[in-house]
């Protein structure tokens, strides 16, 4: 009997050692595989939407970007990949790096090595966040740390996702399109021109617009000037800026007394038909300019007379330095200041001494699915489709005064608007834009050269959206799968927990007792 017990003990010891060795080998293999999977992005994409797989349409779009491109994450790789949402972005970047030899990915700790990211602060924001992603032209891995980066885009993590407007929750991933657009933008061959018009008393002295010019240059434009009465708009001009004119532009003349070739309005009109952008700033002190304002009327823009006052929401006691309210969701205008509006502390945007902007009567309010009028106004006519919306409003308590007298007290006046025209050319879709503000002070140094206000940011975003970026087509965002476990009720969750915690282990224990008993009495 003792011999049998010794043999049993020996077999038990060998079995225990063997089990321990097997467990250690499994743990070691798991650790090694996890390390390799993290380093070389080894995984199987079993999601219906292909969330972890680079789509063919994205590959086709990014393939058009020539030259080296660097994608920089502003945190260590461990931090990025431990963050659920940043992990998706990192995965797409790494897939791009594996697919294209000219794309390089790096991870820089913004807290430990802030000097490596200092050069990227000269855009719209004053800080680099741990969740920011930077796409730049060139190989940053080979660039000296003190060398300024070339063309680049700094993107927030929110930009890579589509969120529910009511809850703010992400419901789809749009990283492929965002990366493709950024890669195409930073490697674009042309550097488009932004030209200030002259000859009409505009505010174009460099001492008055130096910081405005800097913002335009940061957005990727070469800045210059043009006299439309004597010059043609060059092909590489993407943006015209009319900054507070005091004299009118040469218009069309049906009588034929004015040569149509010198018509400045005609030149602007044809310019906008070619996927171009016009910005107009017009102060309350400026007189009515018939030719220019009749042209803007066809774009939905009517500059009202007088100045907007809002003592309840103003930087000064007089009420003329108005804090503006952000546009409604779901409009063209809202997309301009999405990042500003969704930030933890949205900056104040200031309109100093501004006239109201009204909608021309040839435009009608668009209707939503519930039959309600929206902040978007539409126009169909002369083979054109245009839609206009307000970028910034005054509060409902605002009034309009002229010569000290209140001339309008309905409140909620438009302070900045954007109109977009849809054009088709060679089966492609193009957009012409007109952005208008009723003040010359929106781009004044006090506001645009300040980290306190959002004036610089909205100009920067507008330049990006309207005049510079090439948006790739046919890249769909990827909707997150909805699983049964996410839709469980509390009662269902409790029942499932009880099943996993008690019933299944109890069943395993019963089976074990039965097996041991049978062996004992065999």
Shared domain for 72 and 34, answered yes or no, is no
**83 within domain boundaries:** yes
- The whole-angstrom separation of Cα 452 and Cα 9 is 78
CA distance 394 to 460: 21
Same domain, 393 and 336: yes
SS3 261: helix
CA distance 430 to 295: 20
Residue 270: CB partners within 8 Å, gap ≥ 6? Answer: none
Domain contains 482: no
Query: Does one domain contain both 505 and 380?
Result: no
Contact predicate 383/424, CB 8 Å: no
Burial tier of 483 (Cβ tally within 10 Å: 0-12, 13-18, 19+):
exposed
Residue 97 is predicted with a pLDDT of 95
Domain housing 107: 56-187
Is 327 part of a structural domain of the chain? yes
Query: What would the two tokens of residue 108 be?
Result: 């820089």
- If asked whether residues 276 and 407 sit together in one domain, one would say yes
CA atoms within 13 A on the CB side of 491: 0
Residue 359 and residue 257 share a domain: yes
What is the radius of gyration, based on Cα positions, of the chain? 31
Write down the pTM of the prediction: 0.63
| CA dist 414 → 29, 372, 432, 455 (Å) | 64, 19, 21, 16
Rounded CA gap, 158 and 44, in Å? 26
- State which of 425, 440, 468 marks the end of a domain: 468
Alpha-carbon gap, residue 378 to 152, rounded angstroms: 35
CATH number at residue 143: 3.40.30.10
CB 153 within 8 A of CB 185: yes
What pLDDT is attached to residue 30?
A: 62
309 and 380 fall within a common domain: yes
Q: Are residues 281 and 264 in the same domain?
A: yes
Q: Which one of 138, 170, 187 terminates a domain?
A: 187
pLDDT tens string, the chain, 522 residues long: the values are 555 555 555 555 555 555 666 566 766 766 665 555 555 555 544 455 456 688 888 898 899 888 999 999 999 999 999 998 999 999 999 999 999 999 999 999 988 988 888 878 754 445 788 999 999 999 988 887 667 787 888 888 888 887 765 566 888 888 888 898 888 878 876 778 999 999 999 998 888 888 898 888 877 788 999 999 999 999 889 999 999 999 999 987 655 566 667 799 999 999 998 878 999 999 999 999 999 999 999 999 999 999 999 999 998 899 999 999 888 776 777 777 776 666 667 788 999 999 999 999 999 998 877 778 788 899 998 777 899 999 999 999 999 999 999 999 999 999 999 999 987 666 566 788 999 999 999 988 888 877 788 888 888 878 877 765 555 555 766 777 654 444 444 455 556 555 555 655 566 556 556 556 665 555
Is 483 within the bounds of a domain?
no
Asked if 242 and 281 touch (Cβ cutoff 8 Å), the reply is yes
> Hey, is 415 helix, strand or coil?
strand
Residue 144 is predicted with a pLDDT of: 76
DSSP letter, residue 453: B
Question: Mind giving me the DSSP string for 303-331?
Answer: EPSSEEE-TTSBSSSSS-EEEPEEPPTTS
Comparing C-alpha atoms, which of 162, 157, 97 is closest to residue 131? 157
Helix and strand tally (H, E) in the chain?
A: 14, 24
The count of C-alpha atoms lying within 13 angstroms of the C-alpha of 435, restricted to the half-sphere facing its C-beta, is: 23
Half-sphere CA count of 378, side-chain side, radius 13 A = 10
What is residue 348's three-state secondary structure?
strand
In a domain, 477, yes or no: no
CATH number of 462's domain: 3.40.50
Same domain (yes/no): 138, 267: no
Q: Which of the 8 DSSP states describes residue 499?
A: I
Q: Do 351 and 284 form a contact (C-beta atoms < 8 A)? A: no
Pairing of strands 321-323, 405-408: unpaired
Cβ-contact 278, 226 below 8 angstroms: no
Q: Tell me: do 422 and 449 sit in the same domain.
A: yes
- Helix H segments across 280-423? 290-297, 332-336, 338-342
In a domain, 481, yes or no: no
Could you please report the per-residue DSSP string of 206-256?
HHHHHHHHHHHHHTT-EEEEE-TTT-PPPTTEEEEEEES-SSPPP---TTS
Same domain (yes/no): 100, 160: yes
Q: Domain total for the chain?
A: 4
Domain match, 111 and 168 both? yes
31 and 122 together in one domain? no
Under 8 Å CB-to-CB from 472, ≥6 apart: which residues?
Answer: 57, 58, 61, 177, 180, 181, 184
DSSP character string of 140-181: TTTS-TTSPP-SEEEE-GGGGEEE-TTT--EEEE-HHHHHHH
Amino acid 359: pLDDT: 96
- 399: Cβ contacts below 8 Å, ≥ 6 apart: 308, 309, 310, 406, 408, 409, 411
Last residue of a domain, one of 164, 187, 210: 187
Q: Which residue carries 């043999």 as its tokens?
A: 7
pLDDT for res 77: 93
Return the pLDDT at 278: 96
């Amino acid at each position: 009997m003792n011999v049998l017990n010794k043999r049993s003990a020996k077999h038990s010891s060998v079995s225990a050692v063997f089990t321990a060795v097997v467990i250690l080998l499994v743990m070691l293999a798991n650790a090694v595989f996890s390390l390799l999977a993290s380093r070389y992005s080894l995984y199987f994409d079993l999601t219906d939407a292909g969330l972890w797989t680079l789509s063919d349409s994205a590959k086709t779009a990014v393939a058009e970007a020539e030259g080296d491109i660097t994608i920089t994450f502003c945190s260590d790789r461990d931090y990025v990949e431990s963050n659920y949402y940043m992990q998706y972005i990192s995965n797409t970047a790494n897939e791009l790096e594996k697919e294209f030899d000219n794309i390089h990915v790096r991870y820089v700790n913004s807290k430990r090595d802030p000097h490596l990211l200092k050069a990227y602060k000269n855009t719209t924001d004053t800080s680099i966040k741990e969740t920011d992603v930077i796409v730049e032209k060139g190989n940053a891995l080979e660039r000296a740390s003190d060398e300024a980066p070339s063309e680049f885009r700094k993107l927030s993590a929110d930009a890579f996702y589509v969120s529910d407007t009511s809850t703010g929750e992400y419901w789809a991933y749009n990283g492929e399109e965002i990366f493709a657009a950024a890669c195409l933008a930073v490697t674009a061959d042309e550097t488009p021109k932004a030209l200030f018009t002259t000859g009409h008393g505009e505010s174009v002295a460099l001492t008055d617009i130096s910081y405005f010019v800097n913002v335009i240059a940061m957005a990727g434009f070469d800045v210059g000037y043009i006299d439309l009465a004597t010059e043609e708009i060059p092909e590489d001009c993407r943006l015209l800026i009319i900054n507070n004119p005091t004299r009118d532009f040469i218009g069309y003349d049906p009588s034929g007394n004015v040569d149509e070739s010198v018509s400045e309005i005609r030149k602007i009109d044809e310019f906008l038909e070619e996927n171009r952008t016009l910005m107009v700033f017009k102060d309350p002190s400026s007189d009515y300019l018939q030719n220019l304002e009749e042209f803007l009327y066809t774009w939905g823009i009517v500059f009202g007379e007088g100045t907007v006052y809002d003592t309840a929401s103003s930087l000064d006691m007089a009420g003329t330095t108005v804090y503006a309210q952000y546009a409604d969701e779901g409009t063209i205008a809202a997309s301009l200041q999405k990042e500003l509006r969704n930030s933890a502390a949205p900056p104040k945007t200031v309109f100093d001494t501004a006239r109201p902007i009204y909608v021309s009567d040839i435009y009608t309010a668009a209707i939503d699915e519930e039959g309600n009028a929206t902040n978007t106004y539409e126009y169909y006519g002369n083979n054109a489709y245009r839609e206009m919306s307000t970028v910034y409003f005054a509060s409902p308590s605002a009034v309009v005064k002229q010569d000290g007298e209140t001339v309008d007290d309905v409140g909620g006046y438009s302070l900045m608007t954007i109109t977009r025209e849809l054009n088709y050319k060679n089966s492609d879709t193009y957009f012409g834009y007109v952005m208008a503000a009723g003040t010359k002070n929106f781009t004044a140094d006090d506001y645009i050269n300040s980290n306190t206000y959002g004036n610089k940011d909205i100009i920067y975003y507008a330049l990006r959206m309207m005049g510079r970026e090439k948006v790739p087509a046919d890249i769909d965002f990827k909707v997150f799968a909805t699983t049964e476990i996410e839709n469980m009720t509390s009662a269902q969750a409790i029942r499932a927990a009880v099943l996993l915690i008690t019933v299944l282990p109890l069943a395993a224990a019963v089976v074990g007792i039965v097996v041991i008993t049978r062996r004992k009495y065999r």
